[in-house]
Structures are given as C-alpha cells and as structure tokens.
Amino acid sequence: MARDPLTRGGIATAPGARRRVRRQGANGALITGSVLFGLVVCGGLFASLLSSWGPRAADDVNTLVPPGTAGHLLGTDRFGYDVLSRVLHAVRLDLLVGVSAVVVAVVVGSLIGAAVGYLGGWADEVGMRVVDILQAFPAFVLALAVAAVLGGGPVALVLVLALVNVAPYIRLMRSEVRAVRSATYVEAARCAGNGTLRLLLRHIVPNCLRPVFVLAPLNCGWAVITLAGLSFLGLGVEVTEAEWGAMINTGAGDALSGDWWPVVFPGAALFVTVLALALISEGLQSATRVRRS
C-alpha cells in the first residue's frame, strides 16, 4: 500500500501540520515576485548589452518612430532617444534611489523605534509625537513639500523618500521592542552585565527585525512610485535622465496624439517592478506566518 507523503514513520501528521506543509511548499507570491524582480534587475544590469543605443544617444533622423522599427525595438521618443535603452537604464536610477531610501529609513527608524520602545517615559512620548506629526501629512504631499525645499538630484531624493518612509519603521520597531523587553532572554542578558546599547543592538533589535523585512519590499515599491511621481511633476530628476517618471512626462503630450509607446513602456516597467516588490512582501509575510504557526 502506498504511503501518504505527509506521514513520517507510518504515522499520519495532524491536519494542522498538513496545512503548514502545503503552505510552506507553495509560496507562489514569493517565487513569482522574485522571478519578476530578478528579470527587472537583470534588465538594468545588462542594459548596454540589450540595446545598442545609450540612454542619452539621440537618433535625430528617427524621432517618434513606432515599436518594431529597425534599430529601435520599442521605438523612439520626440527627442530621438531609444525607448528600450532608456527604460532599461532607468532601472538603475529608480531602484538605486528607491532601495537606498528604504535602507536609510529602515536603519534610522529601527534604531529610533528600538530606543524609544525600550526606554519608555518621556523619550517614548517625544518620539511618538514626532511620528504622529510625520504621519499627519499625506505621504506624497509631504514628499512634494520636502522635495521642493531640498531640490532634485539622487542624494536629495534619497533623503526625501527616507524621511517619508521612516515613521512606519519607528512605530513598528517600538511595538516589537515593547513586546520583548521583559522577555526572559532580555532579563538574562541584562543580568549578565550588558549595557543598554549592547542590549539593544545585540539582543533585542535582531529579534525584532522580521516584520521590518516584510514591510521593506512594499515600501521600496512605494518609493519607486513616489520617485516617478516627483520626476513626472518636475521635482525629481532632470527630464534628460533615464527615469520612468521623467520619460512619462516627456511622452505625455505625444500620447494624446496617438504616439503611445514613449509612455506605455516606462509605465509598464514601473508597474512590473512595483508588482514584483509587492508580491515579495506578500510572500515574506506568508512565510513568516507559517514559521510562527
């Protein structure tokens, strides 16, 4: 008689264990998101190999030629820039700025959240009031205001997006630290003579990072969308830069007259990238839920 694949030593597993095994073996969101994101990253890394045109090399003879034209697989825009080349090269700038901003937000937000969550008292009150002020503004409106003050450029945009993204990590880490600061292993580490800083960095923060890692890919997608939105409105990178929002801004007028490709292809790249990051976040959340069940 054939043995049930969910048995061990001839003893059937419990229904809850069967469900956990099925969920562990079928994290389709994480796999799909990782594959899509890997393709996007590879497109950016090998952009020079996939297109014979540079992101700022203009073909003055062929402007606004449609997709499929010889030498221009996805066509050109009104300046004669190759759409394929610029879509692929834009991966580098968009992901570099978006991921860098989230990394800064994760580091700063996690440290502040851990400190106020562990110390409590007036530090907690001040920290939470600052978070409340940051979250009182709509995120994109706050990004617009800060970008208008700091100006464009990759470094300024990283700071803008990090500032907008830092509040959720402060609140999340504070909540996690408050839940474990009285745990047995924390008390043991404190009795062993660990100071507050060592206690936080070595024993508490590493055990509270799981939900942060789940949220980070989703925020990376939001940061990429925000960067594109700022560039579309003229507060991000320069129009000549290979960036999806700037490309959509350049081709918006042409799209109204029927030349759709300078807008559709960067928009599709933006959609696929954000979808991939959202799927990765969902997959990590599902995997975390399985481990805890």
- Domain membership of residue 56 (yes or no) is yes
Specify if 10 maps to a domain. no
Return the pLDDT at 194.
79
Distance CA 226, CA 224 (A): 5
Regions of the chain with pLDDT less than 70: 1-26, 290-293
> Is 51 inside a domain boundary?
yes
Tell me the pLDDT tens digit for each residue of 223-242.
999 999 999 998 888 878 89
Query: Is 5 inside any structural domain?
Result: no
- Using alpha carbons, list the distances in angstroms from residue 104 to 85, 109, 158, 207, 258: 29, 8, 8, 19, 41
Q: Which domain holds residue 124?
A: 43-292
Do 78 and 250 contact (CB within 8 A), yes or no?
Answer: yes
**For residue 46, what pLDDT is reported?**
95
CATH number at residue 123: 1.10.3720.10
Sort 287 into a burial class: Cβ within 10 Å, 0-12 / 13-18 / 19+: middle
What's residue 162's pLDDT?
94
Bridge-partner residues for 7, per DSSP? 12
Given this model, what pLDDT does residue 171 score?
94
Token digits of residue 69: 């034209």
Counting the structural domains of the chain, the total is 1
260 is a domain residue? yes
Residue 93 lies in a domain: yes
**26 domain residue, yes or no:** no
Query: Does a structural domain hold residue 220?
Result: yes
